[in-house]
């Protein structure tokens, strides 16, 4: 009896795997909920910067990468040009390229190591953002990495778009300036900063970015200082 | 910016953001870039987010200004430092800014 393969052991294994899977799903759904609340503030901020409800929603649906959306609306609110608003937002979106590299090895093959269909990969690409990368790369097994990616992606896509709609609708009904909605921008950017300040390099880049911004503002067109502020990345040149 | 220009921005930005996602995830795949490039790319958010904090607190169009938003930023930084959730940081900053505007 003791030599026979034990069904009990098998079920313990699969119970453990189920529990692990459940934990990943719960964490991913929770993150989705939290991000929905961030989306409320994006909706409010976008409307206070001069976008209409449709435009705020289109940004969240198609651009679907928070920092770039906030950045574009911030320059629009200040009265910058299309090119200036685009430039800063596009630079922030370069992050998503780097995330794509990190996720490709984990997500582009199926269980047997075969490459997933191109269409599948092209759809998944839209969801390559901060949160899905963080949740997915935190999982040790490929199966859980895929689960974490897709549960986070779908829950976040729903809450991000719903939150934006509600925020934008609320914002379009209220006196955004009297209620201090313009302060949502710097506060949101400040809240996104801490993970990038863990290294000395990151802190130097941040200080440089802020100084360049304030120093150049009076002398160059609106939105251009943001593009020049990216010189802070040169602190990465030395190994 | 006109309504049409704003739509143009949304379209161009959406196409670019998706192209960057596809470029990393589908086209280049799991190859790692040279270390120098990787180190510099990793610093983009630190530089730009800090610049955006400065811009949205201390500038108005092309002027340097210190107004009610500065109070909002101080409250936001305290909230971030206390590891408050995102929404608490944002709402606290909005409330502080609104109060200073109302009463100062």
Rounded to two decimals, the ipTM of the complex is 0.91
Look at residue A18 and give its three-state secondary structure.
helix
Question: Can you tell me the distance from the alpha carbon of B11 to that of B9, in angstroms, rounded to the nearest whole number?
Answer: 6
Cα–Cα distances in angstroms (integers) from residue A120 to residues A73, A103, A128, A154, A157, in the given order: 31, 14, 13, 14, 17
Q: B72 in a domain, yes or no?
A: yes
Q: B1 in a domain, yes or no?
A: no
Q: B14 in a domain, yes or no?
A: no
Give how many domains chain B has, as a whole number: 1
Strand partners for A16: none
Q: Is the pLDDT of residue A18 over 90?
A: no
Write out pLDDT tens, residues B72-99.
999 999 999 999 988 899 999 999 999 9
Instruction: Please report residues of B whose CB lies closer than 8 A to that of A82.
Output: 1, 5, 8-9, 12
Write out pLDDT tens, residues A177-202.
888 888 988 998 899 899 899 999 99
* Long-range CB contacts (within 8 A, 24+) of A105-111: A105/B29, A105/B30, A106/A136, A106/A137, A106/A142, A106/A145, A106/A146, A106/A149, A107/A136, A107/A145, A107/A146, A107/A149, A107/B25, A108/B25, A108/B26, A108/B29, A108/B30, A109/A142, A111/A143
Q: Per the structure block, which two tokens stand in for A174?
A: 């209220």
Residues 198-237 of A with CB under 8 A from B: 201-203, 205-214, 217-218, 221-222, 225-226, 229-237
CB A46 within 8 A of CB A168: yes
At A4, is the pLDDT very low, low, confident or very high (cuts 50, 70, 90)? Answer: very low
Q: B58 in a domain, yes or no?
A: no
Q: B81 in a domain, yes or no?
A: yes
Q: B99 in a domain, yes or no?
A: yes
Q: B51 in a domain, yes or no?
A: no
Look at residue B20 and give its three-state secondary structure.
helix
Please tell me the predicted confidence (pLDDT) of residue A12: 65
| Domain boundaries, position B80 | 66-104
Q: B103 in a domain, yes or no?
A: yes
Residues 39-98 of A with CB under 8 A from B: 40-41, 50-52, 55, 58-59, 62-65, 67-68, 70-72, 74, 76, 78-82, 85-86, 88-98
């Amino acid at each position: 009896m003791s030599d026979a393969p034990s069904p009990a052991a098998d079920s313990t294994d699969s119970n453990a795997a189920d529990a692990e899977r459940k934990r990943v799903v719960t964490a991913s759904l929770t993150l989705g909920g939290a991000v929905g609340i961030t989306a409320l503030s994006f909706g409010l901020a976008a409307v206070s910067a001069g976008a209409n409800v449709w435009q705020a929603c289109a940004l969240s649906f198609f651009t679907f990468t928070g920092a770039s959306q906030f950045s574009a609306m911030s320059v629009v609110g200040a009265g910058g040009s299309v090119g200036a608003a685009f430039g800063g937002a596009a630079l922030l979106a370069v992050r998503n390229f780097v995330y794509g590299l990190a996720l490709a090895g984990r997500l582009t093959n199926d269980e047997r190591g075969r490459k997933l269909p191109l269409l599948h990969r092209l759809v998944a690409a839209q969801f390559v953002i901060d949160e899905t990368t963080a949740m997915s790369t935190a999982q040790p097994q490929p199966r859980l990495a895929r689960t974490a990616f897709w549960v986070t992606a779908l829950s976040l896509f729903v809450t991000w778009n719903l939150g934006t709609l509600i925020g934008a609708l609320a914002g379009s009904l209220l006196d955004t300036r009297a209620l201090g909605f313009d302060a949502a921008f710097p506060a949101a950017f400040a809240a996104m900063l801490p993970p990038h300040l863990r290294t000395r390099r990151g802190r130097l880049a941040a200080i440089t970015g802020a100084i360049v911004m304030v120093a150049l503002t009076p002398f160059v067109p609106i939105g251009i200082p943001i593009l020049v502020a990216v010189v802070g990345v040169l602190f990465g040149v030395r190994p | 910016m006109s309504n049409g220009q704003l739509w143009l921005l949304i379209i161009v930005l959406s196409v670019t953001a998706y192209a960057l996602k596809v470029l990393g995830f589908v086209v280049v795949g799991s190859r790692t870039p040279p270390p120098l490039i990787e180190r510099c790319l990793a610093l983009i958010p630190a530089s730009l987010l800090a610049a955006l904090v400065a811009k949205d607190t201390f500038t108005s169009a092309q002027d340097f200004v210190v107004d009610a938003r500065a109070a909002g930023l101080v409250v936001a930084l305290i909230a971030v430092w206390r590891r408050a959730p995102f929404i608490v940081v944002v709402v606290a900053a909005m409330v502080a800014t609104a109060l200073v505007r109302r009463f100062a």
